[in-house]
């Protein structure tokens, strides 16, 4: 009865009702997307409904399965694994009869728009539902199951897809919600297995999920420098893979590796479409190669637990965008699918995405593997080529002829960042596969000037670096000018470097700028140079992503989750968590979004007394409202440079004393914990991708500078052609780009503040505040 009343009320007010369902296999981050949809819908003046148990909920219908949700119903959901509104594999929905019932129930409940969060199966279902809708409604009308008025109001199905699946198997999006969390669980497991494998000099066959898609196996292979992977997209005959794997494993053992890791995707197949099982792999490693071999099948552990920061943020931003999309929709707009390309949330066509995904599966069935691969996202192919180049290349037969082989140096500058070791390892092994000679400059510019700390990198001494935190080659903040730029030029000359890769944050950016500007005096710097941004502050101009920022964010987020739990156990408790990040509020903002923090203070805005007063009042009100009903802890994040006067401790004291006894605030300072332990999956795999791009850039730009290097005359440093050869490699919007360091320094940098002029995460900040109903004084 109350259900009918609710529907009536919504009709009277002409408020749109937006439904969200999760469907297919559960994936970490689904809850965060439900939270974002529910709260954004309510914020926009709509009513929010959860469709329980996936399509099953539509088929069954009624208030038990189509439930109105309030703002408070999704409190704390961003950190929860799985999906709390349930999911199911619903056979009935695969039949027209089931879909007809679904349509009737949706209309009865007054749902105007449906957002489906699920994998390729669920979105195929959504697409079918969309295409069939007019005929379903016609049938319902003819059978008298809906009224003419209902028919008129609902004749266009407003539907939108968000991709939630651990498999990352949907075309047109780079990542699906849950995939990086699953990858995180896999990496942790392989890191554990690696230790025991190393102790006993054992081989491990690790089986991971992925029925039709080898993304998890491939990215796990890159992140852990596995010896071999078997995935559905790149099958070969039984004889071929057995021989190839044996030869690679043997070669690695001969070079001194004590462990062997082979990762098998659940859906791995031969070119005859015969399954390849872990047991098949075991047979070869143990029987043919005589290795002490064990099988570890990871199974459902991969689905488990709290989502990583990336998934929480992706799910949230996509949930918000899905609501915007359904509200923008007209009968003429094609149904959207919310995707992500690099760092940009984009709308794609649901029909096209489903079609493309299906054509990959069809090509595999038809054994047209080339076509299957060509239909895959370019990033997948890039990862696969990278994996093969760094893990299975024959260093005795490099790709390039003798005349094209280069000497490439790599240096770390600034604080350690997750993924920096992975970048060095990938750069060096890729160089080996190409025929280049990789050198490391140990302990930064000061190490070079004081101790001539240059060593060529060899394969065996880098074993395990891919998964290690910190900086194996050492790092510090000294810039070339502070060290001795003339001395650096002398060593560059002595070692005849043809290219340089710098890894680090703002000091690394300044370093590259100094070297580029010194090109007119020192011919040794007339070589291609690339900066791969790496800093938890994520404040390097020219990129929206720096290596290490994801590892840090996860470390901070885990800390905040624990603190929040503690706060929730005590009535009226607020924690003020102090975050690092220099003059950049990126980390505080992203962590606030990932943890659902009530407030975040950042250096870009400072802390005004008016804003502080408003935040205290609003917190007090919330505690007052919840008094006696439930306890919930609140988090406040503050960058350590948000205010000169108000440290986390001072903020906590002011808040407590101004709260009128409604709550009690305490400071919590994670400090260097924020540098993180093991690097995250994102930092490891992006490090590989970016460092290989950097080596390719150095190869491509050689010719531009060859004459200039051997010419003692001054170089026209303002020539765009030359200045482009010293570049920052960054993610900007939906692209990975090289941008001239000179251009960035001159036009896009707040040099004093050490930040980019334009803050790329402002929109994220607005969403973080909106989803906790925080008002900001502009
Ligand atoms: P995951 O990627 O985690 O496996 P998925 O969404 O691909 O998730 P499926 O089991 O393939 O999971 O699909 C989930 C549900 O979507 C099915 O149980 C069914 O109700 C619906 N569905 C899937 N394919 C179709 C289809 N072709 N037509 C109608 N409904 C479908």
The pLDDT tens digits of the residues spanning 26-80 come to 999 999 999 999 999 999 999 999 999 999 999 999 999 999 999 999 999 999 9
- The beta-strand segments (E) located in 654-761 are 664-668, 726-732, 735-740, 749-750, 755-756
- Whether pLDDT at 670 is above 80: yes
What is the mean pLDDT of the segment spanning 95-104? Answer: 97
Alpha-carbon distance of 397 to 404, in angstroms, equals 14
Query: pLDDT above 90 covers what percent of the chain?
Result: 83
Contact 348, 336 (CB under 8 A): yes
Identify which of 609, 628, 604, 475 has the alpha carbon closest to the alpha carbon of residue 538: 604
Look at residue 215 in the predicted model and tell me its pLDDT. 94
The two tokens of residue 660 are 């009128």
Give the pLDDT confidence of 429-467 residue by residue, as tens digits: 999 999 999 999 999 999 999 999 999 999 999 999 999
The two tokens of residue 777 are 């004084």
Mean of all residue pLDDT scores within the chain: 93
Beta pairing partners, 575: 635, 666
Look at residue 7 in the predicted model and tell me its pLDDT. 57
- Helix residue ranges, H only, 84-234: 96-109, 120-142, 148-153, 179-200, 215-223
Look at residue 13 in the predicted model and tell me its pLDDT. 60
Give the pLDDT confidence of 504-519 residue by residue, as tens digits: 999 999 999 999 999 9
Look at residue 9 in the predicted model and tell me its pLDDT. 58
- Whether pLDDT at 11 is above 80: no
- The beta-strand segments (E) located in 219-259 are 228-230
Ligand 1 center to residue 126 CA distance, Å? 9
What is the mean pLDDT of the segment spanning 662-667? Answer: 93
- Cβ atoms within 10 A of the Cβ of 486, count? 11
What is the mean pLDDT of the segment spanning 754-762? Answer: 94
Residue 470 Rama label (left phi>0; alpha psi -120 to 50; beta): left
Beta-carbon contacts of residue 509 (< 8 Å; ≥ 6 apart): 531, 533, 540, 541, 542, 728, 741, 744, 745, 749
Give the pLDDT confidence of 184-226 residue by residue, as tens digits: 999 999 999 988 888 889 999 999 998 888 999 999 999 999 9
Instruction: Place 2 in a pLDDT band, splitting at 50, 70 and 90.
Output: low
Catalytic residue (one of 127, 167, 377, 683): 167
Least confident of 539-548, 619-628, 646-655: 619-628
Look at residue 377 in the predicted model and tell me its pLDDT. 78
Alpha-carbon distance of 544 to 254, in angstroms, equals 41
Look at residue 371 in the predicted model and tell me its pLDDT. 87
Nearest ligand 1 atom, CA 89: 18
Q: What are the backbone dihedrals phi and psi of residue 240, each rounded to the nearest 5 degrees, phi first?
A: -60, -50
What is the mean pLDDT of the segment spanning 266-293? Answer: 95
Q: Is 221 in the pocket of ligand 1 (CB under 6 A)?
A: no
Give the pLDDT confidence of 522-565 residue by residue, as tens digits: 999 999 999 999 999 999 999 999 999 999 999 999 999 999 88
- Cβ atoms within 10 A of the Cβ of 311, count? 30
- Whether pLDDT at 593 is above 80: yes
Q: What is the DSSP string of 716-733?
A: -TT-HHHHTTEEEEEEET
Mutate to test the pocket of ligand 1, among 24, 53, 182 (most ligand atoms within 8 A of CB): 24
- Whether pLDDT at 5 is above 70: no
Residue nearest to atom 24 of ligand 1 (CA): 121
Contact 330, 531 (CB under 8 A): no
pTM, whole model, 2 decimals? Answer: 0.95
- Whether pLDDT at 700 is above 80: yes
Q: Is 538 in the pocket of ligand 1 (CB under 6 A)?
A: no
Look at residue 629 in the predicted model and tell me its pLDDT. 52
Least confident of 138-152, 192-206, 585-599: 192-206
Ligand 1 center to residue 273 CA distance, Å? 23
Residue 512 DSSP one-character state: H
Q: Is 92 in the pocket of ligand 1 (CB under 6 A)?
A: no
- Whether pLDDT at 719 is above 70: yes
Look at residue 304 in the predicted model and tell me its pLDDT. 80
Residue nearest to atom 17 of ligand 1 (CA): 89
Q: Is 178 in the pocket of ligand 1 (CB under 6 A)?
A: no
Ligand 1 center to residue 83 CA distance, Å? 16
Look at residue 312 in the predicted model and tell me its pLDDT. 98
Look at residue 714 in the predicted model and tell me its pLDDT. 65
Alpha-carbon distance of 484 to 202, in angstroms, equals 48
Q: Is 215 in the pocket of ligand 1 (CB under 6 A)?
A: no
Look at residue 424 in the predicted model and tell me its pLDDT. 98
- Cβ atoms within 10 A of the Cβ of 50, count? 24
Q: Is 176 in the pocket of ligand 1 (CB under 6 A)?
A: no
- Whether pLDDT at 14 is above 80: no
Instruction: Place 632 in a pLDDT band, splitting at 50, 70 and 90.
Output: confident
Ligand 1 center to residue 189 CA distance, Å? 28
Q: Is 121 in the pocket of ligand 1 (CB under 6 A)?
A: yes
Contact 54, 278 (CB under 8 A): no
- Whether pLDDT at 230 is above 70: yes
Look at residue 487 in the predicted model and tell me its pLDDT. 98
The two tokens of residue 504 are 């680090």
- Residues written for the chain: 778
Identify which of 411, 90, 372 has the alpha carbon closest to the alpha carbon of residue 214: 372
Ligand 1 center to residue 90 CA distance, Å? 8
Contact 223, 194 (CB under 8 A): no
Alpha-carbon distance of 261 to 206, in angstroms, equals 7
Nearest ligand 1 atom, CA 120: 7
> Does ipTM top 0.95?
no
Look at residue 769 in the predicted model and tell me its pLDDT. 96
Instruction: Place 623 in a pLDDT band, splitting at 50, 70 and 90.
Output: confident
Nearest ligand 1 atom, CA 123: 6
Mutate to test the pocket of ligand 1, among 27, 89, 118, 122 (most ligand atoms within 8 A of CB): 122
What is the mean pLDDT of the segment spanning 626-641? Answer: 79
Look at residue 370 in the predicted model and tell me its pLDDT. 86
Q: Is 24 in the pocket of ligand 1 (CB under 6 A)?
A: yes
Residue showing tokens 């975050």? 579
The two tokens of residue 167 are 């498999």
Alpha-carbon distance of 231 to 248, in angstroms, equals 17
Nearest ligand 1 atom, CA 56: 20
Q: Is 167 a catalytic residue?
A: yes
Ligand 1 center to residue 24 CA distance, Å? 5
């Amino acid at each position: 009865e109350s259900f009918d009343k609710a529907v009536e009320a919504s009709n009277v007010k002409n408020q749109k009702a937006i439904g969200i369902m999760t469907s297919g296999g559960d994936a970490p981050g689904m809850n965060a997307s439900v939270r974002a949809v529910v709260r954004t819908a309510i914020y926009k003046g709509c009513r929010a409904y959860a469709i329980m148990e996936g399509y099953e909920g539509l088929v069954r219908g009624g208030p038990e399965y189509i439930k109105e949700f309030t703002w408070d119903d999704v409190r704390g959901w961003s950190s929860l694994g799985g999906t709390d509104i349930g999911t199911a594999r619903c056979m009935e929905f695969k039949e027209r009869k089931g879909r007809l019932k679904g349509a009737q129930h949706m209309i009865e409940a007054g749902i105007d728009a449906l957002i489906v969060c699920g994998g390729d199966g669920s979105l195929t279902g959504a697409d079918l539902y969309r295409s069939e809708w007019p005929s379903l409604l016609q049938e319902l009308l003819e059978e008298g199951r809906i009224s003419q008025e209902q028919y008129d109001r609902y004749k266009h199905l407003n539907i939108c897809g968000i991709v939630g699946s651990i498999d990352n198997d949907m075309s047109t999006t780079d990542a699906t919600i849950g995939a990086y969390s699953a990858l995180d669980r896999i990496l942790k497991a392989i890191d554990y297995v690696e230790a025991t494998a190393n102790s006993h000099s054992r081989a491990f066959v690790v089986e991971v999920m992925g029925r039709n898609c080898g993304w998890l196996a491939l990215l796990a292979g890159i992140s852990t420098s596995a010896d071999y992977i078997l995935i559905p997209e790149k099958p070969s005959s039984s004889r071929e893979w057995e021989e190839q794997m044996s030869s690679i494993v043997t070669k690695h053992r001969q070079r001194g590796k004590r462990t062997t890791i082979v990762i098998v995707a659940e859906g791995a197949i031969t070119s005859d479409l015969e399954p390849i099982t872990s047991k098949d792999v075991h047979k070869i490693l143990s029987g043919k190669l005589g290795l002490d071999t064990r099988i570890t099948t990871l199974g459902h552990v991969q689905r488990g637990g709290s989502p990583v920061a990336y998934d929480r943020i992706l799910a949230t931003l996509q949930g918000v965008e899905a609501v915007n999309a359904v509200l923008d929709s007209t009968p003429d707009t094609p149904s959207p699918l919310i995707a992500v390309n690099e760092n940009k949330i984009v709308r794609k066509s649901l029909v096209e995405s489903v079609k493309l995904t299906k054509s990959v599966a069809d090509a595999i069935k038809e054994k047209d593997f080339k076509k299957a691969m060509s239909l895959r996202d370019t990033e997948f192919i890039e990862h696969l080529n990278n994996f093969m180049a760094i893990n299975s290349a024959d260093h005795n037969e490099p790709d390039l002829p003798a005349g094209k082989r280069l000497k490439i140096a790599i240096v770390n500058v600034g604080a350690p960042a997750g993924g920096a070791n992975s970048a060095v390892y990938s750069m060096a092994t890729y160089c080996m596969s190409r025929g280049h000679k990789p050198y490391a400059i140990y302990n930064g510019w000061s190490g070079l000037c004081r101790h001539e700390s240059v060593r060529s990198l060899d394969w065996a001494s880098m074993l395990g670096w891919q998964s290690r935190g910190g900086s194996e080659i050492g790092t510090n903040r000294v810039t070339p000018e502070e060290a001795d730029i003339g001395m650096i030029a002398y060593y560059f000359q002595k070692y005849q470097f043809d290219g340089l890769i710098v890894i680090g944050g703002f000091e690394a950016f300044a370093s590259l700028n100094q070297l580029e500007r010194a090109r007119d005096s020192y011919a040794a710097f007339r070589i291609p140079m690339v900066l791969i941004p790496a800093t938890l502050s994520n404040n390097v101009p020219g990129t929206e992503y720096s290596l290490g920022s994801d590892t840090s964010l996860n470390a901070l987020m885990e800390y905040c989750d624990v603190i929040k739990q503690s706060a929730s156990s005590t009535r009226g408790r607020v924690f003020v968590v102090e975050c690092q990040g220099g003059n950049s509020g990126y980390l505080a903002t992203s962590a606030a979004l990932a943890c659902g923090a009530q407030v975040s203070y950042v250096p870009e805005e400072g802390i005004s007394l008016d804003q502080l007063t408003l935040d205290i009042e609003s917190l007090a009100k919330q505690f007052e409202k919840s008094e006696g009903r439930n306890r919930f802890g609140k988090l406040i994040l503050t960058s350590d440079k948000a205010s000169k006067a108000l440290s986390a401790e001072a903020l906590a004291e002011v808040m407590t004393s101004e709260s009128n006894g409604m709550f009690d605030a305490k400071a919590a300072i994670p400090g260097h914990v924020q540098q993180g332990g093991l690097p995250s999956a994102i930092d490891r795999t992006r490090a590989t991708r970016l460092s290989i791009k950097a080596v390719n850039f150095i190869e491509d730009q050689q010719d531009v500078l060859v004459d200039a290097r051997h010419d003692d005359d001054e170089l026209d440093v303002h020539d765009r052609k030359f200045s482009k050869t010293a570049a920052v490699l960054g993610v900007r919007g939906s692209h990975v780009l090289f941008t001239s360091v000179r251009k960035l320094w001159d036009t896009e940098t707040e040099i004093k503040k050490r930040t980019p002029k334009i803050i790329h995460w402002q929109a994220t900040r607005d969403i973080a505040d909106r989803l906790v109903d925080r008002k900001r004084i502009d």
